C-alpha cells in the first residue's frame, strides 16, 4: 500500500518500528533463542522464571511474531489455496464458509480464487498460489482432476478434490453420496404418485457416469417406470430456466422435475411459473444441494441436502493426511429434506 516500512514517517520520539523478538529478548534480558523457545513451547525447556519474564516482555511490548519470517524459516505458511469453478454458486459459498471454519481450527487461512471453469485460468491461478507457498490446495472445479496432479506432486503440495463425484486414481477427494441421494429423491416422487420425471443436468454431467443421473435412472427402473426426458443445460439459473421453458413447451406429460442442483432448480421454477404451470400440483420440482436459497424458493424446494460441515472437515483432514498416501475418496451421505415443491401430502408450505 502507500506507505512502506522504510519510508514510514518518524513520529517524534516514537519511531514506529515494529517490535521484533530482539526487542523482547532485550527487555527480558535473554537471548532471542529463548524467546523463540518460550513462544513455541520447545524444543527445549526454559526455566519457569525466565519464561515468565519473556511472557511479560511479550505482553508489555505487544509483540507478535512476523508471519513472513516464520514462514520463510519453517517452509510452511499455514495457508491453503481454494480454487472454485463458480464462486457465485451458493453451494460453494456455503462450502467455503465451512472450509474456512475447518481450516481456522488448525490455524490455517484460505486463499480463494475463481477459475470460472476455464482450464487456462485455473492453471494460472494454481501457479500463483504455489508462488505464494500455499501448504495445500483444494479444488472444486471440473478441470482440477486433469491439469495439475504431476506439477503438484513435484512441488510437494498436497491437494484434495472437493465436490467430487467419485474416486479419481491416485488422488484424494470428497463428495456427496450423490447416487443414493438422487435415488431417494426420485423414490420420494414416485411414492407420491409422480410417474414421469424429467432430469435436468449439466451438459457434461458430474463425471462419467454421473451419479445423479444413475440414481435417477435406477429409481425409475426399480419402479418399472419409463425414464423421463433428460435435458442438458449449464449448471446455472439461466440453464435451469432454459430447461424449464423447454418442459413447459414440450408438454410431454412430465409431472416432476429433478434438477441436479439448486441453481438449475431456481431457473426451472421461474420458467414453470411463467409458463403458468402450478407447482407442485401440475408438476413437482426437487433438487440436489439444499443451499439456504432452496428453502426460500417458491414453493420451497424438496432437496437432497449435502452435509457441508462434514465434507469440509473431511476435506481439511484429507489435506493433512500422509503426503504419500494412496488415492482415496470419501462419500458423505445427503439428507432428504421435504418441503412443498414435491407436493407430498403432509408438507404444508
Partner DNA sequence: CCGGAAGGAAACCCATGAACACCCCCGTCA
Partner DNA sequence: TGACGGGGGTGTTCATGGGTTTCCTTCCGG
What's the grid cell of residue 278? 402450478
Q: Is residue 288 classed as helix, strand or coil in its secondary structure?
A: strand
- Site residues (CB under 8 A) for a copy of itself, limited to 115-134: 127-128, 130-133
Chain center to CA of 173:
12
111 binds a copy of itself (CB under 8 A): yes
Q: Which segments of 117-260 are extended strands (E)? A: 136-140, 159-161, 172-176, 197-201, 230-232, 256-259
Distance (Å, whole) CA 275 – CA 33: 74
**CA angle, 306 then 310 then 315, to 5°:** 105
Taking CA atoms, 340 is separated from 193, 235, 303, 314, 347, in Å, by 15, 23, 10, 32, 6
DSSP 8-state symbol, 164:
-
Q: Which of DNA, a copy of itself, none binds 43 (CB below 5-8 Å, type-dependent)?
A: DNA
9 binds a copy of itself (CB under 8 A): yes
90 binds a copy of itself (CB under 8 A): yes
79 binds DNA (CB under 7 A): no
For 125-138, the DSSP string reads: HHHHHHHTT-SEEE
DSSP 8-state symbol, 240:
H
- Site residues (CB under 8 A) for a copy of itself, limited to 247-306: 266-267, 269-270, 273-274, 292-293, 295-300
49 binds DNA (CB under 7 A): yes
74 binds a copy of itself (CB under 8 A): yes
Residue with Cβ nearer a copy of itself (219 or 247): 247
Residue with Cβ nearer a copy of itself (186 or 301): 301
166 binds a copy of itself (CB under 8 A): no
State the DSSP H helix or E strand holding residue 304, giving kind and residue range, or none if neither. strand 302-305
The residue to which cell 439459473 is assigned? 237
Residue with Cβ nearer DNA (76 or 278): 76
208 binds DNA (CB under 7 A): no
Span of 103-111, 194-202, 207-215, 330-338 interacting with a copy of itself by CB under 8 A: 103-111
CB of 214 to a copy of itself, least distance (A): 28
Give the residue, chosen from 26, 39, 61, 328, that forms a contact with DNA under the rule CB under 7 A: 39
Residue 140 contacts residue 162 (beta carbons within 8 Å): yes
Give the residue, chosen from 61, 65, 101, 149, that forms a contact with DNA under the rule CB under 7 A: 65
Residue 334 contacts residue 178 (beta carbons within 8 Å): yes
Q: Which of DNA, a copy of itself, none binds 45 (CB below 5-8 Å, type-dependent)?
A: DNA
The C-alpha R_g of the chain, in whole angstroms, comes to 26
Residue 268 contacts residue 285 (beta carbons within 8 Å): yes
How many residues sit close enough to a copy of itself to count as binding (CB under 8 A)?
71
- Site residues (CB under 7 A) for DNA, limited to 12-31: 17-18, 20-22, 29-31
Distance (Å, whole) CA 192 – CA 85: 36
CB of 21 to DNA, least distance (A): 3
Distance (Å, whole) CA 20 – CA 64: 8
Residue with Cβ nearer a copy of itself (182 or 319): 319
Distance (Å, whole) CA 236 – CA 265: 9
For 306-345, the DSSP string reads: --HHHHHHHHHHHHTS-TTPPPEEEEE--EEE--GGG--T
Q: Which of a copy of itself, DNA, none binds 156 (CB below 5-8 Å, type-dependent)?
A: a copy of itself
333 binds DNA (CB under 7 A): no
CB of 49 to a copy of itself, least distance (A): 27
66 binds DNA (CB under 7 A): yes
Give the residue, chosen from 10, 76, 204, 222, that forms a contact with a copy of itself under the rule CB under 8 A: 76
Give the residue, chosen from 32, 39, 55, 109, that forms a contact with a copy of itself under the rule CB under 8 A: 109
- Summarize as ranges the residues that interact with DNA (CB under 7 A): 17-18, 20-22, 29-37, 39-40, 43-47, 49-50, 63, 65-66, 69-70, 72-75
Amino acid at each position: 500500500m502507500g506507505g512502506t516500512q522504510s519510508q514510514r514517517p518518524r513520529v517524534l520520539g516514537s519511531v514506529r518500528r515494529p517490535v521484533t523478538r530482539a526487542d523482547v529478548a532485550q527487555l527480558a534480558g535473554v537471548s532471542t533463542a529463548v524467546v523463540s523457545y518460550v513462544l513455541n513451547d520447545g524444543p527445549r525447556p526454559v526455566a519457569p522464571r525466565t519464561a515468565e519474564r519473556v511472557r511479560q516482555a511479550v505482553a508489555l511490548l505487544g509483540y507478535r511474531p512476523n508471519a513472513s519470517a516464520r514462514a520463510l524459516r519453517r517452509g510452511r505458511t499455514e495457508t491453503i489455496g481454494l480454487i472454485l469453478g463458480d464462486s457465485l454458486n451458493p453451494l460453494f459459498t456455503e462450502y467455503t464458509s465451512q472450509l474456512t471454519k475447518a481450516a481456522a481450527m488448525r490455524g490455517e487461512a484460505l486463499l480463494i480464487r475463481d477459475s470460472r471453469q476455464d482450464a487456462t485460468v485455473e492453471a494460472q491461478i494454481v501457479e500463483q498460489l504455489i508462488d505464494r507457498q500455499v501448504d495445500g490446495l483444494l479444488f472444486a472445479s471440473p478441470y482440477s482432476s486433469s491439469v495439475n496432479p504431476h506439477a503438484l506432486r513435484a512441488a510437494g503440495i498436497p491437494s484434495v478434490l472437493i465436490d467430487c463425484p467419485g474416486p479419481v486414481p491416485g488422488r484424494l477427494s470428497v463428495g456427496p453420496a450423490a447416487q443414493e441421494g438422487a435415488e431417494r429423491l426420485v423414490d420420494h416422487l414416485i411414492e407420491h404418485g409422480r410417474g414421469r420425471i424429467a432430469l435436468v443436468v449439466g451438459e457434461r454431467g458430474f463425471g462419467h457416469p454421473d451419479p445423479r443421473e444413475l440414481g435417477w435412472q435406477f429409481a425409475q427402473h426399480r419402479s418399472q417406470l419409463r425414464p423421463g426426458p433428460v435435458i442438458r443445460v449449464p449448471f446455472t439459473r439461466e440453464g435451469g430456466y432454459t430447461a424449464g421453458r423447454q418442459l413447459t413447451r414440450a408438454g410431454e406429460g412430465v409431472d416432476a422435475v429433478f434438477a441436479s442442483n439448486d441453481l438449475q432448480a431456481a431457473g426451472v421454477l421461474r420458467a414453470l411459473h411463467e409458463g403458468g404451470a402450478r407447482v407442485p400440483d401440475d408438476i413437482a420440482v426437487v433438487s440436489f444441494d439444499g443451499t439456504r436459497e432452496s428453502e426460500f424458493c417458491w414453493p420451497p424446494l424438496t432437496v437432497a441436502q449435502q452435509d457441508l460441515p462434514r465434507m469440509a472437515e473431511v476435506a481439511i483432514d484429507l489435506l493433512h493426511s500422509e503426503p504419500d498416501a494412496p488415492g482415496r475418496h470419501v462419500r458423505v451421505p445427503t439428507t432428504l429434506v421435504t418441503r412443498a415443491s414435491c407436493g407430498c401430502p403432509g408438507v404444508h408450505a
